[in-house]
Amino acid sequence: MAKKGRILVLDDDPAVTLSCQRILGAEGYNITTVGRGEDALKRIGSEEFDILISDVRLPDLSGIQVLRESRKIQPGMDVAIITGYPTLEDAKESVRLGAFEFIEKPFTPDFMLNVARRIFDERGWILRQAFIDEFRNEIVKLRDEENPVIFYKEGTWARPIQGGLWEVGCDLRYWVLSGQMVSVDVPGSLAGIVAGETFGHVLLGDGRSEDLVAPMSGRVRELNTRANTVIGEFVRENLAEGWLMWLVRIVPAEGLRA
């Protein structure tokens, strides 16, 4: 199988590095694993990598320190931060330093593969301009340097926007691939969301209803009232790839799930 790209996995837990080797290696990615931050920086200083996947808690340096230094050494390398103890502070600092993903453990094989595919995709995730213009206020680009997206559990994400608010939404691609997405159900009376708890549901074409789990807590300031109109257009035009949709805008309270 042809190699798709070089990935450096930094984690002191052998189970995590072995899991990444098996998941990503089976897809043809060239995987290198290390258990210490200093070792990772040495490898980054002497070898070219496309992606660094790093834990936050390490036996020597923190993953945030490694992220900061790696951006100086190889600024073109994408970084995904993984952690079993997510905090809003780490998430903010990660995205400020240019991390592409902030991922909570444990992660599923499909989720990790989707991370790699998103990073390596070279198509740019471009929709027709007319569609973008029509739904400019409801859809979110996958990559936005000013307001980077932090992916949470499968299908949900959060990102900071202007005025101290955060948007919380769903990944249309994930749900369309899971089963034809019909609609979302977020209560119009929703006053707040709580990290780790359900704040809405996705209704799929096969009759299933899947929970939307909040990545952070906060008081709801605005609901996306055109969400189901957007979904209808995405499904009808088969335009789901590469775009996200916000569902609620909140004033953050306790941050990411601890």
Average pLDDT for consecutive 10-residue bins of the chain (258 residues)?
74 89 87 94 94 90 90 88 75 74 78 78 48 74 69 81 91 68 88 93 83 92 90 61 82 62
Q: What's residue 217's pLDDT?
A: 92
Fold of 6-120: Rossmann fold (3.40.50)
User: d(Cα 258, Cα 254) in Å, to the nearest integer?
Assistant: 9
160, β-bridge pairs: 166
Q: What's residue 37's pLDDT?
A: 93
Q: What's residue 176's pLDDT?
A: 65
- Extract the tokens encoding 36: 């210490």
* Class for the domain spanning 129-256: mainly beta
**219: enclosing H helix or E strand:** strand 216-223
83, β-bridge pairs: 104
Q: How far is CA 207 from CA 10, 179, 199, 202, in A?
A: 41, 10, 19, 10
pTM greater than 0.75: no
What residues does each domain of the chain span?
A: 6-120, 129-256
